[in-house]
Copies of this chain bind each other. A is one copy, B any other.
Amino acid sequence: MKTTKSILLFIALINVLSTQLQAQKKKDKTTKAEPVKITSPVYEKYIEDNEEAHLKEFLELISIPSISSIPAHKPDVERAADWIVTKLKAIGIPIAQLIPTEGQPIVFGSWDKAPGKPTVLIYAHYDVQPVKESEWLIPPFEPLVKDGKIFGRGASDDKSGVMISIWAVEAMLKTTGKLPVNVKFVFEGEEENGSPNFKSFAESHIELLKADFALNADGGQYDENTPEILMSLRGTAVMEFSIKTADIDGHSGQFGGKTPNSAVIMSQIISSFYTKEGNVAVEGFYDRVLPATAQEKEMMKKVPYNKANDMKILGTSAEAGDTTYSSLERIWYRPTLEIIGLQSGYTATEGHSNIIPGSAMARITCRLVSNQNPGEIQELIEKHINKNLPSGAAVSYKYGRGKGGASPMKFPADTKEYKYVTDVLTKIYGKQPLQMGTGGSIGSLVSIKNILGIYCYSLGMELSDENWHASNEFFRLSSMRKGQLIYCNYFEHLAEEEEKMKK
């Protein structure tokens, strides 16, 4: 691929990195009250001493275009998986291997030399979203550090989660030769493609994955200075449908006026999905949606949600949706039906083809809440489209891997798992984490709960303005250090607390 180019870029980059890191460190010292201390300052020194080397290898991993949803990138996905296995071995993880699935391989690692101590399963994913290269300011797989930010596809979502958890374990192993708890890594290679194989992988590897606690390293914090703990995820149902009105496109003069136009019919069907208020008009869509609980309403009140700041992230000029629900409520506790892709006719930038399109295609993503079921929602949408189809149009549906998707999920606040995570965040940030919902979905966390019986609380460093899935994705340089401190601290805290409980 672009390996040679990337290597040249690395060499050039390394020269500027030191300067950037120095500047960042100065900034850290000035903007933060006091550097966070963990139990053993030895770890912290290791983390700081290795910042440059870690950044270099982080850029190397980001430069591998591990786009799981594009078959041509399968070798890249495998290359990224191999790269991580090599890294795990290098830091002294005795069991580090690829586990094949029907899709992309799972990277599995296990350090189990703390008998009698709890085992923590760390989930993350090493695959990334596709890119619209023309919208990027840099080639998305030639990562670059600028103004304290690491730009590149996957820098934040979720190669940051993979590397931070590995580096934290590295800091402990390289300085003390051991970990206070047993650690299992399970890094998925197709989260961005809807985790089609994670459930069956988990079902067939229950013993291997067995753990007492689980962390989701594909998580984030509220902002640079405010921690959060994730209380809910929406589910997801994805589908594609095509409207066909003719076998071929027709001359717009010769046929225009008597010939159904697939682009127009598609537009009319899409319009029919919505009420005037911005809700979904598909019959039955809200049947299994529950209102936010009193506790959830309390949660939302505590979030200093700033509409204007939030709109700056994408550069939107108004909010959409049913305003009888608050912005947060719409994102966390209300389902959506979004058109994520739409194509019909001749749309190349250059050229002009004066035709009535014979076919049109749209892709839908629904985000689901409460008791909504992905497969059922897909059925309701099919029923709606079939009902609204005018004569002269045929419809076909496409599901990447059969119907279904990720279920919505909630995390309880009354568990010790919850407490350990919030303890650590409170210590590192100097304040209690905000309880947050999210509009996103991670189907694998649902599988981990349902199959392994563990709540996989999120503990990651992604921030919401880091352009996940979008162009010019980035990750903050400052989050590298802080993330490792959080993980080291968590391992120690967990070991101590569990030890106390034994006595």
Seen from chain A, the residues whose Cβ lies within 8 Å of a Cβ on chain B are 67, 69-72, 129-130, 132, 135, 192-194, 234, 236, 238, 245-261, 263-264, 266-268, 270-271, 273-274, 310, 313-321, 327, 330-331, 334, 336, 338-348, 350-358, 360-363, 365, 367, 390-392, 394, 400, 438-441, 464, 467-472
In the bound assembly, the distance between CA atoms of A192 and B330 in angstroms comes to 48
Cβ-defined contact, B264 with A274, below 8 A = yes
Q: What are the residues of chain B within 8 A of A271 when measuring CB–CB?
A: 264, 267-268, 271
Cβ-defined contact, B266 with A321, below 8 A = no
Q: What are the residues of chain B within 8 A of A135 when measuring CB–CB?
A: 248
With A348-B130, A352-B130, A353-B340 known to touch, is A330 a contact of B361 (CB < 8 Å)?
Answer: no
CB distance from A294 to the nearest CB of B (A): 21
Cβ-defined contact, B317 with A69, below 8 A = no
In the bound assembly, the distance between CA atoms of A346 and B352 in angstroms comes to 21
Q: What are the residues of chain B within 8 A of A339 when measuring CB–CB?
A: 261, 263-264, 267, 344-345, 357
Q: What are the residues of chain B within 8 A of A316 when measuring CB–CB?
A: 245-246, 250, 259-260, 392
Cβ-defined contact, A261 with B320, below 8 A = yes
In the bound assembly, the distance between CA atoms of A274 and B260 in angstroms comes to 13
* 14 interchain pairs, CB-CB under 8 A: A67-B351, A130-B352, A132-B346, A245-B316, A250-B314, A251-B468, A252-B365, A254-B438, A255-B314, A257-B334, A259-B320, A316-B392, A317-B394, A354-B469
With A255-B331, A256-B439 known to touch, is A347 a contact of B342 (CB < 8 Å)?
Answer: yes
CB distance from A317 to the nearest CB of B (A): 5
> What copy number does this chain have within its complex?
2
CB distance from A398 to the nearest CB of B (A): 11
With A316-B259, A320-B261, A469-B355 known to touch, is A363 a contact of B342 (CB < 8 Å)?
Answer: no
Cβ-defined contact, A350 with B258, below 8 A = no
Other than A67-B351, A254-B439, A266-B267, give 6 A-B pairs with Cβ distance below 8 A.
A238-B354, A246-B315, A259-B314, A268-B274, A342-B343, A343-B347
Cβ-defined contact, A238 with B394, below 8 A = no
Name the residue on B nearest A67 (C-beta).
Answer: B351
CB distance from A263 to the nearest CB of B (A): 4
Central interface residue in A194, A318, A394, by most chain B CB within 10 Å: A318
In the bound assembly, the distance between CA atoms of A251 and B193 in angstroms comes to 14
In the bound assembly, the distance between CA atoms of A255 and B356 in angstroms comes to 34
Cβ-defined contact, A336 with B267, below 8 A = no
In the bound assembly, the distance between CA atoms of A129 and B261 in angstroms comes to 19
Q: What are the residues of chain B within 8 A of A330 when measuring CB–CB?
A: 257-258
CB distance from A300 to the nearest CB of B (A): 13
Q: What are the residues of chain B within 8 A of A238 when measuring CB–CB?
A: 352, 354
Cβ-defined contact, A253 with B345, below 8 A = no
Cβ-defined contact, B315 with A438, below 8 A = no
Central interface residue in A340, A360, A468, by most chain B CB within 10 Å: A340
CB distance from A434 to the nearest CB of B (A): 16
Cβ-defined contact, B338 with A193, below 8 A = no
In the bound assembly, the distance between CA atoms of A267 and B71 in angstroms comes to 31
Name the residue on B nearest A234 (C-beta).
Answer: B253
In the bound assembly, the distance between CA atoms of A471 and B355 in angstroms comes to 11
Q: What are the residues of chain B within 8 A of A252 when measuring CB–CB?
A: 336, 338, 340, 365, 367, 439, 469
